[in-house]
Amino acid sequence: MAIEPSLISSLTWFAHVARHRSFTKAASEMGVTRAALSQHVKGLEKQLQVRLLNRTTRNMSLTEEGQRLLDTLHPSLSNIEQTLNSLNDLHIEPAGLIRISVSRTAARLLIEPHLGEFLSRYPKIRLELIMDDGLTNIVAEGMDAGIRLGVSLDEHMVAIPITPNLTNAIVGSPDYFKRYGKPETPNDLEHHNCLAYRFTSSGTLDHWSLTSPDVDKHTVIFEPKGNAVFNDDYSMLQAAMQGVGLIKHIDLWVLKYLEEGKLERVFVDWCKPFPGFYLYIPSRENMPKKIRVLMDFLIEKRAEL
């Protein structure tokens, strides 16, 4: 027979009565009247067309059918109770698997440096990082969250900023500039070895967009045509530091190497700010505790950037 919602309620009420062998005690535990409880059990017997309880003025006992039903119900109800308790515990201590779609740049800048601290702080959380430079539909792919630049976000997602606004940086090594000089205008880039980045998801090259600091604010779109093309940020960065050529990347990615003197920057005034990295999720409604603490942690680390 099909299980109707009302039947599930009646089965639960019956289990309470059967466990106590008393309508009065069961009603007190459940916070209902004895009459209401009795009515539910009678309705269940009528629906099942079988007597479940033997009742007298002073005593109550289970029929063979009632005992059989209770033996089946008891472990099932216990499992449900344990599951509900474990779900409630998640609101107290975050736990479980978090699947995150993240670009490789974001993973190296925002996740990898703090991974140990996060997992130490929340030992019952497990992270699965799916690195992909394309814009992943986290709902369709069964993921909990994603991290992307603000310009790439789906408007239907809830987005939380986890970095300040960023700018692009055109950089090269001191050795490269010593040998070839520094370009002073975008047209000069045609005479430099400008290394290219190819997006894995689309297969297209990343063009360099430079906006004039002058009043007219005209924008120059430059296609790098150097002697190497990369689809990995770190490899491209290493090539630049070895003096192979110039690269374009976000300032946050190269800041450390600029401070250490391993790279130098050109066209600073031509690189305009744009929205930084965001953590995006499908909804804030009934947000799991594990996602909440991840969001709070990344916002906390934003202050250190």
Q: Assess whether pLDDT exceeds 80 at residue 6.
A: no
| Structure confidence at residue 36 (pLDDT) | 85
Clarify whether residues 133 and 218 are in a common domain.
Answer: no
CA dist., res. 224 & res. 183, Å (int): 14
Looking at the structure, tell me whether residues 222 and 257 fall in a common domain. yes
Q: Are 250 and 277 in contact (CB under 8 A)?
A: no
Domain that holds residue 180: 168-270
Q: How confident is the model at residue 3 (pLDDT cuts 50, 70, 90)?
A: low
- Report pLDDT digits (tens) over 177-190: 999 999 999 999 99
Owner of token pair 């950037």: 305
Average pLDDT, rounded, for the chain: 89
State mean pLDDT over 165-193: 97
- The count of domains in the chain is 3
Output the pLDDT for position 207.
95
Q: Is there a domain that residue 214 lies in?
A: yes
Q: Is 132 left (phi over 0), alpha (psi -120 to 50) or beta?
A: beta
Whether residue 129 lies inside any domain: the answer is yes
Which one has a higher pLDDT value, 78 or 149? 149
Residue that terminates a domain, selected from 72, 90, 108: 90
